[in-house]
Amino acid sequence: SDWFYEQNGSKQTGWINDGTGRYHFDENGKLQTGWYQENQIWYFLNTVHDGYYGRALSNQWAWIDGYSYSFDADGKMYANCITPDGYEVNADGRWTVNGVVQFIEGKGIITTATTPGSGKVSGGITRGGGGSGGGGGGGGSHSSGGSSSGGGSSSGGSGSGGGSSSGGDGSSDDTSTPLPEIEGVEFKPFRFQ
């Protein structure tokens, strides 16, 4: 089913901050999920049904499709720089150590490209616009545009995938922190200011 944000009886479009975070709705008012690009800046809109489905990841690191990415307070993915906490990310936003992309197969949120051949292709991963996932929590004042079986079936090819969630309680989990498991690399704890 599709998710919409209605205000005064009309579907809202663009970025909406409902107090729990930022969400993006397409030109038809449909909630977007997965990789989203705007003005050459990448965002990741949560694909996990954890009460914050569709919310832009922000102020955190997240493992997505086996790569670790960092996002600022507005949800913008850091790319081709040193993050505020001192880690290097390449032009695709992937965490690197001495220029080597850190990849752990199956780690974190697992996504599926919504439209093969569209979006940003890097290293065999296609980042397309978000499809819609199945039932589950909408969070805040979102309303469902159809009935939901609560099962997490997906349309448009974007699945909720694996990974764990903190349930919004502020605790970190294995999808939101860098992995301190690379031999010979010292990791520094961080918090965005």
Condensed to tens digits (0 to 9), the pLDDT of residues 144-179 reads: 333 333 333 333 333 333 333 333 333 334 444 443
Contact 74, 63 (CB under 8 A): no
Q: What distances in angstroms separate CA 155 from CA 32, 113, 158, one per listed residue?
A: 12, 12, 7
Whether residue 77 lies inside any domain: the answer is yes
Question: CATH number of the domain that 103 lies in?
Answer: 2.10.270.10
Whether residue 156 lies inside any domain: the answer is no
Number of structural domains the chain divides into: 1
Whether residue 70 lies inside any domain: the answer is yes
Whether residue 168 lies inside any domain: the answer is no
Domain holding 131, by residue range, is: 3-144
Could you report the per-residue pLDDT of 125-138, keeping only the tens digit for each? 333 333 333 333 33
Whether residue 160 lies inside any domain: the answer is no
In terms of pTM, does the model score above 0.95? Answer: no
Whether residue 96 lies inside any domain: the answer is yes
Whether residue 183 lies inside any domain: the answer is no
Whether residue 127 lies inside any domain: the answer is yes
